[in-house]
A and B are shown apart, each in its own frame.
Chain A
Amino acid sequence: DTEVTQTPKHLVMGMTNKKSLKCEQHMGHRAMYWYKQKAKKPPELMFVYSYEKLSINESVPSRFSPECPNSSLLNLHLHALQPEDSALYLCASRGTPYGYTFGSGTRLTVV
């Protein structure tokens, strides 16, 4: 299995809702990432987990809360988001020799 699986593929949520994005990989990678990508822009790093511990937080607002329950699973909990948070959220994992493997993303729309 050489894939990173993200669910759901699409999500529409209100500004008062709580939702979660899920990312799963079974390649034995011990580093996992969340990226945010706005239209016509490159992916921007949000969080890095290394060996299930948060190692990098790129000053992301607290309405985004990451969680890494085990080495295969990464969640991103969302609460009280703003319309400007609408974007493609990408999960990635890192291992050799294939470098970083990205999932297909979750298209999030905040209404």
Chain B
Amino acid sequence: EDQVTQSPEALRLQEGESSSLNCSYTVSGLRGLFWYRQDPGKGPEFLFTLYSAGEEKEKERLKATLTKKESFLHITAPKPEDSATYLCAPTAGGTSYGKLTFGQGTILTVHP
């Protein structure tokens, strides 16, 4: 059975204090791993798609990396506006094709 575990559940940072979020997954036939940001009461906002181990993608203060068992979202010099819930979601092939299975999310709070 596919499993996705995100850690930590919550993370409090001071503005400028860099850190990383973890997404561990067990998925047969991984087709891609997605990272989303979600603000309270809003729909998830797409950040990155990673397709193969070793792949890295960057966007402003965020950098996502992928290995065969986990993905990291690195946040460099965060700002208060980076506060949100960050969700990872691997997607597989076969009968699970097209399904996103979300992790529980990491609630990030960045204090000024």
Taking Cβ atoms with an 8 Å cutoff, the residues of A that contact B are 4, 6, 31, 33, 41-45, 48, 50, 55-56, 88, 90, 92, 94, 98-105, 107
Contact = CB atoms under 8 A, between A and B. Distances in A.
Interface stretch (B14-22, B36-44, B59-67, B74-82): B36-44
A4 B49 CA distance: 19
Interface in B27-84: 32, 34, 36, 41-46, 49
Given A99-B49, A100-B34, A56 B44 contact: no
Bin the interface of chain B by size. Answer: 10 to 19
User: Main SS of the interface on chain B?
Assistant: loop
Nearest to A101: B46
Given A31-B98, A44-B102, A102-B46, 5 more contacts: A42-B104, A92-B100, A103-B43, A105-B41, A107-B41
Given A31-B98, A94-B98, A99-B49, A43 B44 contact: yes
Contacts of A88: 41
Given A31-B98, A94-B98, A105 B43 contact: yes
B80 to A, nearest CB: 21
A45 B43 contact: no
A69 B99 CA distance: 21
B46 A98 contact: yes
A90 B36 CA distance: 14
